[in-house]
Amino acid sequence: MTGDANDRSVVRRGRFSGGPADEFVSSLAADERTFAADLAVDRAHVVMLAEQGIVDADTAGAILAALDDVEAAGHAALPAGEDVHEAIETAVVERVGPDGGRMHTARSRNDEVAACIRLRLRTDLLAAVEATLDLRATLSSVAEAEVETVMPGFTHLQPAQPTTVGHWALSYERAVARDTDRLLAAVDRTNASPLGAAAFAGTTFDVDRERVATLLGFDRVLSNAADAVTARDFLLEATAALSTHAVTLSGVAEDLVVFASRGFVEVDDAYASTSSIMPQKVNPDTLELVRAVAGDAAGDLNALLTTLKGLPRAYNRDLQRATGHSWDAVDAVTAATEVTAGAVATADWPADALAAAAGDGFSTATGVADLLAAAGVPFRTAHEVVARAAETADGTPDRETLAAAAEAVLGESLSAYVDAAALEVALDPVESVATRDSPGGPAPSAVADALDRATTGLDEDRTALAERRDTLAAADERLRDAVEVYHA
Ligand code: ARG
């Protein structure tokens, strides 16, 4: 072997050498996910090199044609390599000859890999955002349909106050809306270009970092070259946003599992399974899997935090093992979001059973205390009156029991404070819900107002998603046009 720079074996030696650790070291199989991203990064870089006069137009044309050919052959046809970046370069050199190696002028796999991950992740995150929007639409539909459907509300899993299915559904819509917001923020911080950073210390070539960023639809350039190749905080932020959303989903899932166990909701058969031994069973276990995804995503986030902590500046190979955690999280959480939307959309809320249970456990007690407080009794004293009545009654206390408690605590008759009709309203679950019409409350009027705001927010977020996708589609076209200039 000579020291000829045109000899590819020289280039390859010491990188991916047929040694015993090759399989352990290689990320080529996992890199299938960034195959298309790497081709785009290669194209944008080569176009920029040609535009800057760093590579001549003919060579650029030959490399760009080879990239088309590599794309058509597909990831599975790539030669063996340490990773997709090296394998595509090798495949280009195989087609173009040594001049193909000019593609790697003024860059390193360090800025290359970071660009590829960001490129792919932003698209995957936008799909996750879309799934949250669809789930919000579903929750809002349920809220609209079940705005009057009174159900028991729980704290500590104990009957607490009557509420409505609509209010329950909107409570999750609000949480998912914040999840959407966090995911969009993660998209925007992910969408920055590390290209032109090279290994970490920039390059002697007159590169145009802004041009490459524009061709690839990145919103901006990461200014410091060492930061650009090192930074994986975008993985942390994305995975944290996904984990947070998974926790929201796990709440929806857990509520539905608990409600189903009490006969308060019927989960559609498509989201349930039967028992292999107990013929009568229909288990809402799809939702149990949703609940478990929150654990997986938290594991991915923890793995990332642990892998990234204490790494020195610039590229370290640990980073290769970090990436997969974000792919796992985005795949699992997006799928869980879609499945949750399906389960919620098809669930049945048995109004009669819910209404019958809504008053269980003297769930209207707070409303009775509110009534006394509104009549001038300090709330803490009113609480004491109603608590005393609850202690003596079996279930919801009747008028006499409440009157006796009022006598005992206040030394005055109940009727001095509340009239009989108002007390009936307070004791009735349906009427009691209707009176809780403070902003954000469960009264049908309050839920209807909240629903209007949720619909506006959803429309705004759909626009935000469409804008980002339009920007990326425009960049795809820009890159295609720029490449076209060099095609013979
Ligand atoms: N396979 C690597 C990764 O996924 C790509 C970058 C390798 N760079 C290097 N200097 N070894 O992170």
How far apart CA 44 and CA 209 sit, in angstroms, is 10
**83 within ligand 1 shell (Cβ under 6 A):** yes
Q: Which atom of ligand 1 is nearest to the CA of 319?
A: 12
Handedness of CA 471, 466, 193, 40 (dihedral sign): negative
DSSP label at residue 301: H
Query: Is 156 labeled as catalytic in the residue annotation?
Result: yes
For the record, the structure tokens of 98 come out as 């040594």
Please report the pLDDT score of residue 322 as a whole number: 98
Paired tokens of 25? 């070291």
Distance 311 CA to ligand 1 centre (A): 15
Handedness of CA 436, 437, 438, 439 (dihedral sign): positive
- 275 as an active site residue: the answer is yes
Ligand 1: does its nearest atom lie under 6 Å from the Cβ of 362?
A: no
CA of 302 to the centre of ligand 1 (A): 22
Dmax over CA atoms of the chain, in Å, equals 108
CA distance 390 to 374: 20
How far apart are the C-alpha atoms of 58 and 46, rounded to whole Å? 11
Residue type, 176: V
How far apart are the C-alpha atoms of 83 and 31, rounded to whole Å?
7
- The response to whether residue 371 sits with its C-beta less than 6 Å from ligand 1 reads no
Of 17, 275, 415, 445, which one is the catalytic site residue?
A: 275
**Partner residues linked to 164 by β-bridges:** 150
Q: Where are the alpha helices (DSSP H) in 191-281?
A: 209-215, 225-230, 233-261
Q: How do residues 261-294 score in pLDDT, each as one tens digit?
A: 999 999 999 999 888 888 887 889 999 999 999 9
C-alpha to C-alpha distance for 202 and 213, rounded to whole angstroms: 16
Say how many Å lie between the CA of residue 179 and the centre of ligand 1: 31
pTM, two decimals, is 0.94
pLDDT at site 276: 85
What 176-179 contacts at long range (C-beta under 8 Å, 24+ apart), as own/partner pairs, is 176/132, 176/135, 176/136, 176/139, 176/245, 176/248, 177/136, 177/454, 177/457, 177/458, 177/461, 179/132, 179/241, 179/244, 179/245, 179/248
Candidates 109, 311, 327: which one to mutate for ligand 1, based on the most atoms within 8 Å of Cβ?
109
Q: What is the pLDDT of residue 22?
A: 87
All residue ranges of the chain with pLDDT < 70 are: 1-16
For residue 36, the SS3 value is: helix
Residue with the two structure tokens 């329950």: 168
Centre of ligand 1 from the C-alpha of residue 241, in Å: 25
